[in-house]
Structure 1
C-alpha cells in the first residue's frame, strides 16, 4: 500500500512538473488598446481588422465590428514590443485570405508605447480637395428641367474641364458623388479619375435617353426615381457630396470620409459653375497604445 502511494505521488509530481514546464514555455501576451474617432459600422459583410508590422510582415491583432472605443486586444507580447507600425484594414467578414486586404483605412508608426494613426498616409491626404459643378441635364433634349442634373465640371472657360481636384486614392478606394434628397442619399456614380466619366455612365437608370452625357462624373435625375422620390426634380437647396468609398462596398449609404460638400444655392443658375466647400469628414485619426 505504501509503495503504491509513493508511486502515485511520483506520477503526480511528474505530471505537475510537465504542466509547469508547458506554462513556462507558453507565449506571453500583452494588451493593445485602440482609440479611434470617426469610424462607422460596416454592415454584416465586412469587419475592421488591426495589424502590427513586425520585421516587415503583418500580424493580425484581431477583428471588430463595434465602433465604440477604446477597445483592447490580446497580442503576443514579443511581437507587439517589436512592432514598428499599426495598420487598420477593412476585411470580408468571412475571409479565407490571411493577408490584409487592399482596403486599408488607418496607419501610423509606433513611437515608444504609442502610435498616432490617421487616414492621410494610407488612403489619401484629402485636405486640399476642391470641387466645382454645374446644374444641367445633357442626357435628354428637354431644356425645361436643367436643374435636375449635376455634373462635376467647370465650363467657365472656352471649353469644359474637370471640376474636381482630388488626390489619387490608394488601392481599395474609390470616389463617389451623391445628392441628398430630404435625408436620402442617391449616388451619382463611383470614379477614380475626376477627368473621366464615372463608372455608371453607360448603365445609369436615371439618365435620359439622349446619351451618356459629358466625359466627367455626374448624373441626370430624369426617370426611374427610387421609392419616395419624383424625377425630374429640382436640386436647388439639396446637398451635393463627394465621398471616399471602400471597394468593394456593401453599403448603399455614403462612407465616413466626405472631403467635399455643398448645399446648392436656392438662386443657383443652370449651366453656371458652383464651388464646393470642405466636407464634414476629411480625415480619420486615433491613437494605439501597447
Structure 2
C-alpha cells in the first residue's frame, strides 16, 4: 500500500501541507462548478489503485475525486464537481496515484502531474511532481557484460551477451545515465524486453551505485562475484516461467522506466524516458539510449 505522508514544498512551490474535504458539493448549483480534465497517455492502474485529482487552495489540497483509465487510455470521468469558490481560488491541480480502498484522506507521495493555473482558467500538465528536473534532457548508455558468473581474479569467460549494465565499460565503469533526481514516491527501473515480456534489472535512484536488486537471492545475476557499482543485471538464475536462462541480451530492447514506489504493478509503468536496442557486440562496445518523450502524459485542466 502506498505510504501516505504530508509533504512540504514540491517543484514550482506547490504546497501540499494538509488536506481539506470539499464538503460543499451538495449545495446549490450556484455554489458548484466543474473542473474538466483532458489527459492523454495515462494507463490502466489495475485492481487496487485509482487516479485522484487535487486542487491546491490556500496551499492545501482539496480532492476533486477519483477516476480510472481503461486499457485504451480512456478516462472513466472527465468532469468533476467542486465548490465554486475553491475552484476560483485554486492555484494548481495535482494528479496522484492512490490505493483503492483508501483510508487516508491525504495525497499519496506518488504525485504524477501538475498544472498551474496562474491567472488563467486552463493549464497544461507537466511531470514536475515526479522529479527535480526535466525528463526531456534524459540520455545515457548501456553495455553488454556478465561479470557475476566469474570468480574473483579470473579472466573474462567470454559470455558477456548474458548481462546488461547502464553506463560505459571502463575500470571502473562510467555512470553515464543523465536522469533527473526523483522526488519521493518514485524510482527508476531497468528492463530487458524478451519474447515473453519485460524482465526487470532492478530499481534504483542513484545512477552511480548498484541498484536495489544487487545481491538479492531472488535476483537474476550470478553468485560468483558482485556486479559493477552501477545499475544493471546478469541473467543466469531464477528464470521466470517461460523464459530460458542464460538470456542473450543481443538484439533486445532495453528500457529505463519511472515506477511508483511502492509499485502498483510488476509491469513497466507508463513513464519510459529512455529506450535503446542492444547490438551484437559486447563490451567494450556501448550503446546509446534514445529519449522516449512519447511515453510522457499530456493534456490540460480547465476550470
- Confirm or deny a common fold (TM above 0.5): yes
Counterpart in the other structure of 2:8: none
Counterpart in the other structure of 2:276: 262
Counterpart contact for 2:54–2:61, Cα < 8 Å: yes
Counterpart in the other structure of 1:42: 45
Q: Is 2:164 the partner of 1:168?
A: no
Q: Distance in 2 between matches of 1:161 and 1:243?
A: 20
Q: Is 2:32 the partner of 1:29?
A: yes
1:137-166 CA distances to partner (integer Å, 9 max, x unpaired)? 11012714210100112225x642213111
Counterpart in the other structure of 1:187: 200
Task: Please point out which of 82, 87, 91 is paired with 1:75.
Answer: 82
Task: Please point out which of 189, 211, 227 is paired with 1:198.
Answer: 211
Counterpart in the other structure of 1:115: 123
Offset at residue 109 of structure 1 (A): 1.0
1:211-248 CA distances to partner (integer Å, 9 max, x unpaired)? 33111100000122111111112111100000000111
Offset at residue 25 of structure 1 (A): 7.2
Task: Please point out which of 124, 134, 143 is paired with 2:157.
Answer: 143
TM-score (norm 2): 0.82
Change (3 A) 1:96 1:195: same
Task: Please point out which of 111, 115, 128 is paired with 2:137.
Answer: 128
Q: Distance in 2 between matches of 1:127 and 1:41?
A: 24
Q: Distance in 2 between matches of 1:74 and 1:189?
A: 41
1:168-216 CA distances to partner (integer Å, 9 max, x unpaired)? 0111110000000025000000000011010010214311121331111
Counterpart contact for 2:160–2:282, Cα < 8 Å: no
Counterpart in the other structure of 2:225: 211
Consecutive unaligned residues in structure 1, runs of 5 or more: 1-22
Larger Rg: 1
Counterpart contact for 1:256–1:281, Cα < 8 Å: no
Offset at residue 102 of structure 1 (A): 1.1
Consecutive unaligned residues in structure 2, runs of 5 or more: 1-25, 151-155
Offset at residue 75 of structure 1 (A): 0.9
Counterpart contact for 1:261–1:280, Cα < 8 Å: no
TM-score (norm 1): 0.86
Bigger Cα displacement from structure 2, 172-181 vs 249-258: 249-258
Q: Distance in 1 between matches of 2:129 and 2:264?
A: 21
Offset at residue 279 of structure 1 (A): 2.4
Q: Is 2:107 the partner of 1:104?
A: no
CA RMSD of aligned residues (A): 2.0
Bigger Cα displacement from structure 2, 278-287 vs 217-226: 278-287
Task: Please point out which of 85, 89, 99 is paired with 1:92.
Answer: 99
